Structure 1
Amino acid sequence: MPHFASGQAAAPLVEAAARGDLAQVQALLRGGADVEQRDARGRTAVLAATAGNHIEVVRALIARGANVNAQDPQRDSAFLLAGANGSTEVVRATVAAGADLRSTNRYGGTALIPACHHGHVETVRFLLTTAIDVNHVNNLGWTGLLEAVILGDGGPPYVEIVRLLVQHKADVNLADREGVSPLAHAKRRGQAQVVQVLQAAGAK
């Protein structure tokens, strides 16, 4: 059970959502619980359900009008956290519910960037079917492509992500703040297959 600071009311809906207790969530909502209730950590129920990848609870909360763009003090929203965690079904549900594709996390990144960083191929594949900005640059000066190369290991998931980004018009020559290109980073890291994909796309 989460610890609540003294004087702060408990948040039963958020607690039930965090546990993935769909029956309890539905009962609380029927009883008039505020769907935007927050716990001591500033999380809404839909964010807590997303953290546990409880897709049915996420869907139930969305059906009751939960705001998938509501951010906690860490700047996580259900949409952004689902992208970072590779919870593709939650990403789909939040996009259908009006997720703000331009919203950014505490690093200034869109949902696409951490999905690239963590090698979540299916999440990246889905996000690239939306209007999300494939060339968005975060606070580190990195795009999704740069994160896939710099933070990835060059293995099959990352090769596929680089391929997907290239297919969706990622700027293969958009360099980092030091002027180092994705291709140069891939060469430095010995990512031979990534190098091939980038060179085939005209990377320099």
Structure 2
Amino acid sequence: MRLSLLVLSACLLLGLAYFLLWPSLDIEQLDKRGRSALSRAAESGDVVQLKQLLAQGAQVNQRDLCQWTPLLHAALNGRTEVIHYLLKHGAAVNAVDKGGYSALMLAASNNHVQSIVYLEAKGADLNLQDDSMGWTALIWAVKQGHQDAMTALFALEADASLTDHESKTVYDWIRAGSLEPE
């Protein structure tokens, strides 16, 4: 009994109790929003659970009802360490949701500079445009007023001459007052 408690305590410390208590857990079971356990771990930044799910064969590119992958959830929340593990296990770096939004766009629109730099280093397309407005990650950063993200994207040589669906460039948006100090 004492050894069992010791093992359970050790597992709790390692974040593994979830899997010990429910060994028949369906790792691909979806919640009401169609999110897998891997997407929820990516969103919350739970690296321990994420590693366990990946080790058990969770589908790294599984999409939820909005066509979001775990990588998109991680990027939205600036979970760079999670992004690293997802990409290491085959996540599609340029996957987009049903609106055409990429992980890089989500990171840029939320000023997650470390995630922006990491995604670009792993092959994220700096100049991908979303479907609804034709905005790039750079335009998203400007529209949200994120100077740090904008500076990082300029340094990474994002194309500032691309036009959106209104035929505006990032410079047009800056002149229009979209970039306000944070």
Q: Identify the TM-score tier after normalising by the shorter chain.
A: 0.7 to 0.9
Residue 190 of structure 1: how far off its partner (Å):
6.8
CA distance in 1, matches of 2:52, 2:119: 22
For normalisation by structure 1, the TM-score amounts to 0.74
Aligned-partner Cα distance in 2 for 1:102–1:26: 31
- How many angstroms does 1:28 deviate by? 5.4
- Structure 1 spans left out of the alignment, 5+ residues: 1-20, 194-204
- CA–CA separation in structure 2 for the residues paired with 1:192 and 1:32: 51
Instruction: For 1:38 and 1:160, locate their aligned partners in 2 and report how far apart those are by CA, in whole Å.
Output: 36
Matched residue type, 2:17: Q
Structure 1 partner of 2:18: 25
Please report how far the alpha carbon of residue 192 of structure 1 lies from its aligned counterpart in structure 2 after TM superposition: 8.4
Partners of 1:177 and 1:133 lie apart in 2 by: 19
Root-mean-square deviation (Å): 2.1
Amino acid at match of 1:42: G
Q: Which amino acid aligns with 1:62?
A: L
TM-score (norm 2): 0.82
Partner of 2:106: 114
Does residue 1:171 correspond to 2:154, yes or no? no
1:147 matched residue in structure 2: 140
Structure 1: distance between partners of 2:76 and 2:180: 26
How many pairs are equivalent? 167
Q: Name the CA shift for 1:47/1:28 in 2 (closer, same or farther; >3 Å).
A: farther
Show the counterpart of 2:5.
none
2:31 matches 1:43: no
